[in-house]
Structure 1
């Protein structure tokens, strides 16, 4: 008999006129699940959403890696790293009330040669069959994690703390001031327009929320109230915003490396038909699957176009 699915309860405050969620009142467990979205690598998001993430052409890139002949990769472990990338914050997420990623807990693997494990390299891998510097596969399981006070799991303090989460996923501590602020933001001056509703949240709803918050500014209303998704207007990207900030801080110009590609372009439409590229660009494209959502938001500043992830 299978274990009973864990559920959370949210208390929604709804605008009866618009049918939209003003905010959700919740405990620490739900907030930590939302925060854990930022730690998920793109490859993990695409896998969890069954290649229907709506993240541009990233679903197609993931599917391409799935079908890629192993002869094109350095090792079989490389495919595992791209299709099932591990989050560096995995230990902080291990005690979430509802686990977003359903991978088995992280295991460490090593090469059993004495020089490799103890004297020279002292390396371990979170992916089985990764290549050791000596050339042998790191395929022997080792249980090495030690419990540390700073890594007991979770991101928030206060087991009994209450939070308010707005429709676009802004999080604040529950208080009278924050409640009034959100009501003013929605232009609500008549409390008779408001209605409370409790909803039950399981893993199905969490995955639906993950998908929706990548493409919508109103994920709570979309998921729990059935509000129709509105077309998301993408902002025009500012070239290399992070690089400009770093240059301003240091006062020095950073020289960027360049890679070459031969492009076949349609004269009529101006669209690129295909590009002939080297392995350096292919490696770069594949590496996108390992980027956590939080890293993408940081690199692209407020122009990430990832719904309300910013």
Structure 2
């Protein structure tokens, strides 16, 4: 689930010309005994192998079944046929009038010296484009010209537009941190299960979900442009279904991926899949088919990714270890004497969780950049305001 997470867009991904996500054919799992016939077959199917047990015989549900359709008709996300213009920084707009009018609509005024060139994009080119979209401001140029881009964009702060409900102190995660006095940077933190679960959940987030959480202002500016093209630049009528746009703007986690203590990030998961059966073959549910349908509601409790630990150690670059040896080795490797170490506590709420998520995308010091720097910047701003606008009366109360 963590190293190869499912997507809530698996059905749509099967319609793409290139299966870059490696999803392949959709698969579910039945009782390992081919002779077992459960009377409650609608609940005797799992979307994960070796997780659930057969309701009739108690054996594991690990016999995979492949859906009868290898590929559905129609476009995955937009209506077809339709032609779009894509800029070098991944802004997207449909051509609804002429080429030049559409160029003007997305801010391109100068075309002198431009030439037409045809490209053939395959599996490796699309993967390279995905990588470059996270590291370059001009991913299409870099892919075509085979430029090597090593410097990840940095120094960009997010402006969160999706404020979660206020979280009380009792719902915040307490982080016991050990800092280097001389530099005021994280050395390591003693993390509870709740914090480790939060960090592990970062691996399950869809890229569009990260952009949504960070208010479409991430370090990945081309991905931000792509997100804004969907949210503001492409009219609803050009999307494949009535809910495609909303699902792309705020994508859900795959079914079963909402972890047990998910309190800090405003996320939701997709509904359990609905399957239909015809002539002993299974198909994704399509209300137009009129086949006999099973409402598949697997009773999955909210999950925990790891077993209970008394404590786990997390370093500034989010390396985690359950071993106490890590605590000692960090100090020894850095040559830091115990006298130059100070202990403090951080209370992790929604804003702090998003700061860590934002920093983890590009920084090698995610805890320092996500927790200490925002507080330092806030304190510096408060001091500047006080100095600039001195109080005529002494402070009262706290």
TM-score by length of 1: 0.59
Q: Residues 204-223 of structure 1: matches in 2 within 5 Å?
A: 204-223=124-143
How many residue pairs get matched?
217
Rate the CA distance shift 1:132–1:85 in 2: closer, same or farther, 3 A.
Answer: farther
The structure, 1 or 2, with the larger RCO (C-alpha pairs under 8 Å, 6+ apart) is: 1
Where 1:172 maps in the other structure, the secondary structure is strand
Where 2:189 maps in the other structure, the secondary structure is strand
Q: 2:158 aligns with which of 224, 234, 237?
A: 237
Where 1:224 maps in the other structure, the secondary structure is helix
Higher share of residues assigned helix = 1
Structure 1: gaps spanning 5 or more residues: 1-80, 248-252
Q: Residues 186-197 of structure 1: matches in 2 within 5 Å?
A: 186-188=108-110, 191-197=111-117
* 2:214 alignment counterpart: 300
Q: Is 1:261 matched up with 2:175?
A: yes
> Hey, what's the Cα distance between the residues in 1 that align with 2:168 and 2:68?
41
1:219 deviates by 1.0
* Residues 54 and 61 in structure 2, CA contact (< 8 A), matched pair in contact too: no
Q: Is 1:201 matched up with 2:121?
A: yes
> Hey, what's the Cα distance between the residues in 2 that align with 1:266 and 1:136?
54
> Hey, what's the Cα distance between the residues in 2 that align with 1:287 and 1:133?
29
* 2:344 alignment counterpart: none
Rate the CA distance shift 1:279–1:151 in 2: closer, same or farther, 3 A.
Answer: farther
1:258 deviates by 0.7
Rate the CA distance shift 1:206–1:120 in 2: closer, same or farther, 3 A.
Answer: closer
Which structure's CA Rg is the greater one? 2
Q: CA RMSD in A?
A: 3.5
Q: 1:158 aligns with which of 69, 80, 87?
A: 80
* 2:391 alignment counterpart: none
> Hey, what's the Cα distance between the residues in 1 that align with 2:156 and 2:182?
26
1:274 deviates by 0.9
Rate the CA distance shift 1:273–1:123 in 2: closer, same or farther, 3 A.
Answer: farther
Q: Provide Cα deviations, 1:58-99, integer angstroms capped at 9, x if missing partner.
A: xxxxxxxxxxxxxxxxxxxxxxx1111111111111121111
Q: Residues 59-74 of structure 1: matches in 2 within 5 Å?
A: none
